[in-house]
Structure 1
Amino acid sequence: MIKFTTVRHPYGRLVSAYKDKIVFPSNHLEKELRNKVKLVYEDTSFVSFIKYVIDENQDSDDPNRHWRPFSNYTGCSNILDYYLKIETFTDDIKGLETIIQHKFLAYSTKTNPSKQQKVDGVKIKTTADYMNELSDELKDKLFQVFKYDFLLFGYDPNVFP
């Protein structure tokens, strides 16, 4: 049996989580999360969200799966044979199909609708735009949380999706 997973650039993943869970919450739990970030960090800015992510990953045994490092799922007890990167999904899925000698019937590469929405009436911001809001100290702390994702999956912390 082949064990595989899908991964994503850590910073692109965090921007996506921020927009989906904090800026445009779609259910009661996400609204509670937004309120929790606001209560602890005084606002719901990207900077506050990143502080929340760092603190939760350092202080919790079970951080939210949307911002828990993928590397936490791998290791001696869960060795993967293959991983697919969201950024190169179409090519990666073809590689997996070759390895398992089976063609998947269907798969989707659709974009989440929140990616197309403006934030605060401003143009659609890129991952680089969001990352530029962070201080160097905060970027360093964030990198430490996701260091093994960068190393294991070959992502560059200085190149944003």
Structure 2
Amino acid sequence: MRLNTTHWRAVRRYFLVFTAIALLPLALVYLVRNEQIYRIKGYEYVNESHVPVLPEESVHTLSPIDVERVEKRMERRRKLLQDKCTEFGLDVVGNDTWHKPNAWEFLVNKKYHIIWCNVFKAASSSWMFNFNVLAGYSPEFLQRTKEVFLNLARERYPRVSIEQLREAQNDSITFMIARDPFERLLSAYRDKMVFAIPHSYHDKLGRRIVRKYRRKNMDMNSPKYPTFSEFVRWLLDQTRHSNSQIDMHFVSSTMFCTPCVINFDVIMKFDTLDEDQLYLINKTGLSRVIAPEWRNAGKGKNTQELLQSFYSKLTPKEMNGLYQYYKYDFELFNYSATSYFNMVQENGT
């Protein structure tokens, strides 16, 4: 009798273990469906309906006079953009990368009716933080996580088609941030080449550039990463090949966001970002949800000294090649390249 009891206990135990194993995939599906999986991964995802509200003392606003002044600034930027798009024929939809609407890099937040084309190295870290907050990640988690902000965002903001983007724009504010094209390029070069994370994609890319573009008689003390001139020669070769896809950190903002064939309500600029982003936050009614961010600000030398130290080493041919590629970024967003050409002339190269 005791043998039978022991036997049936063993059978029942094995049955329970087998059942638990069989139900484990269903349990995981349940966790994912209820978004608890984010806590398992350490994401500390907060449901979008419970996004923390900023305390009143942390809320920043513009005065009515400032709002009116910034609004006029935005009108001038939109008007210039429209005029330049027409002047260069960029407002005609086509199949090439300059004329085909590109919705690939837009982040669409339907809950708060705000849409952003994420131009890398143009306050992108700052606004990726804000868009992750709007997606429900807690600010505390974002401050300490080692996860890539873009990867976190894409789990909440799926890619959209141009049709989906246009539909979302009907009741949303669409914005982008413009930056002096050569400032942006230098920032991207330093971040992705000079300070590349060891063994990362850009570290390996930099080594390939060195092998191909470094002259044999270069000083043995030359850096392991590409010099700015080597990097520029590589980039110009990329732009000459119609089938080359330019790295998202170096690509022209005009090609990336196609602002001549996709409507933008707000065009912020890196050089007036403090005031522009306050304007946008107020305009979207998000002043109690997100605060102005200024992450990854430059350190060390001031901007003009950095620009001089790098661009003065280029040849007139290299400078002209860069300008031809970024010409629309200069023209559409009212930047001048004159000082850069002067740097090359002063250097006598």
Report the TM-score range of the alignment, normalised by the length of the smaller protein. 0.7 to 0.9
The aligned runs of 1:1-161 (5 Å cut-off) are 1-27=172-198, 28-42=200-214, 44-59=226-241, 60-72=243-255, 73-103=257-287, 105-112=290-297, 115-116=298-299, 126-159=306-339
Distance of 2:291 and 2:227 partners within structure 1:
37
Instruction: Tell me, yes or no, if the aligned pair for 1:18 and 1:46 is still in contact at 8 Å.
Output: yes
C-alpha distance after superposition, 1:5-44 (max 9, x if no partner): 1222111111111111111111521211111211221171
Distance 2:235 2:265 in 1: 29
Aligned equivalents of 2:281 and 2:305: distance in 1? Answer: 35
Distance 1:129 1:108, change over 3 A: same
Relative to structure 2, which stretch is displaced further, 2-11 or 54-63? Answer: 54-63
**Structure 1: distance between partners of 2:300 and 2:209:** 21
Could you tell me how far apart the structure 2 residues matched to 1:126 and 1:16 are? 10
Are the counterparts in 2 of residues 74 and 80 from structure 1 also a CA contact under 8 Å? no
| Alpha carbons of structure 1 residues 128 and 158: separation in structure 2 relative to 1, 3 Å | farther
Q: Report the CA distance between 1:87 and its aligned residue.
A: 2.0
Percent of aligned pairs with the same amino acid: 25
Greater radius of gyration (CA): 2
1:76, distance to aligned residue in structure 2 (A): 4.8
> How far off is 1:65 after superposition?
0.6
Structure 1 unmatched runs, 5+: 119-123
Structure scoring higher RCO (CA < 8 A, sep ≥ 6) equals 1
Question: How much does 1:101 deviate?
Answer: 4.2
**Corresponding residue SS for 1:68:** coil
Report the TM-score, using the length of structure 2 for normalisation.
Answer: 0.40
**Unmatched runs of 5 consecutive residues or more in structure 2:** 1-171, 216-225, 341-349
Q: Tell me, in whole angstroms, the C-alpha distance in 1 between the residues paired with 2:181 and 2:237.
A: 16
Q: Structure 1 residues 144 and 45 mapped into 2: Cα distance closer, same or farther (>3 Å)?
A: same
CA distance in structure 2 between the aligned counterparts of 1:57 and 1:129, rounded to whole angstroms: 24
Is the partner of 2:182 in helix, strand or coil? helix
- Could you say if the C-alpha distance between residues 48 and 3 of structure 1 is closer, same or farther in structure 2, counting changes exceeding 3 Å? same
Whether the aligned pair in 2 keeps the contact of 1:21 and 1:33 (CA below 8 Å) is no
Higher alpha-carbon deviation: 68-77 or 95-104: 95-104
Shift in Å at residue 75 of structure 1?
4.0
> What is the DSSP-based 3-state SS (H/G/I as helix, E as strand, rest coil) of the residue aligned with 1:126?
helix
Q: CA deviation at 1:111?
A: 3.0
Q: Which amino acid letter does the alignment assign opposite residue 281 of structure 2?
A: E
Output the CA distance in 1 between the equivalents of 2:267 and 2:317: 31
Q: Indicate conservation of the 8 Å contact 2:236/2:322, yes or no.
A: yes
- Paired residue type of 2:234: Y
TM score, norm. by length of structure 1: 0.82
Matched residue type, 2:185: L
Indicate if the aligned counterparts of 1:2 and 1:100 stay in contact, CA closer than 8 A.
Answer: yes
Task: Give the corresponding residue for 2:109.
Answer: none
Match of 1:45, as an amino acid?
A: T
